[in-house]
Amino acid sequence: MFFKKFWTRPLTKRTSVCYTGSVSLSAKLTNKKKGVDDVKPEIKSAADFLKKHGIDSFPIDLDKICQNEDIQIFAADLSALAEKDNTQVSGAIAISDEARVIYVNKEDVRVRQRFTVAHELGHYCLHNPDPELAMISLRFGRSPQETEANRFAAELLMPEEMLRNECKKTSLVFVPVIAKKFDVSREAMKIRLDYLGLEYIDI
């Protein structure tokens, strides 16, 4: 089952926030996991990441990936991280020499939480988060890092070869059906199908 653990205490904000699509938040981690090394993965793409973890079927098992990477996932109250203008914070990743934690917004639906985890894994693989800072993912803006993390998430959850092969099995690709198979939102699936130039029907 996705998300076996839930973190219910609010994650509080401690220092300044910059609106670049990602936010640097100075934070002390709780529930630290002892003995986690600080070696960053040598991963350049979502395909590399899937290969590293031996995943060749869908829906993509994010629990397995996070367990293998010693990353804990917590559903949290992230409202304290929102700045003015009612910005919604979907997730965060916090990396230190003692713990690796991804937070997802407990108010988000499951498929959005899955995309958030995949998005934060993109930051983890591609952007080498500072061990002393938590990177807060805000779903707005078009900074290069946010764009890269979103692309990584789409490629991780909806790998091109798997998706193309699945689409070949039917003459009509119905978005609700294939989105359910990959355990993603209809919106995310439509964006991915458009990007790959695959035809579909959305009803």
The residues spanned by each domain of the chain are: 1-157, 159-203
Query: Average pLDDT, stretch 163-171?
Result: 97
Q: Residue 61 contacts by C-beta under 8 Å, 6 or more apart in sequence?
A: 55
Residue 111: pLDDT over 60 = yes
197's torsion region: left (phi>0), alpha (psi -120 to 50) or beta?
left
The single-letter DSSP state of residue 27 is -
Q: What is the pLDDT of residue 128?
A: 67
Residue 142: pLDDT over 50 = yes
Residue 82: pLDDT over 60 = yes
Percent of the chain with pLDDT over 90: 53
Q: What is the pLDDT of residue 132?
A: 62
Give the pairing of strands 100-105 and 72-76: parallel
Helix locations, 44-143, DSSP H: 46-52, 62-68, 110-126
Assign 183 a pLDDT band (cuts: 50, 70, 90): very high
Lowest mean pLDDT among 110-114, 130-134, 142-146, 178-182: 130-134
Show the tokens assigned to 97: 């020499």
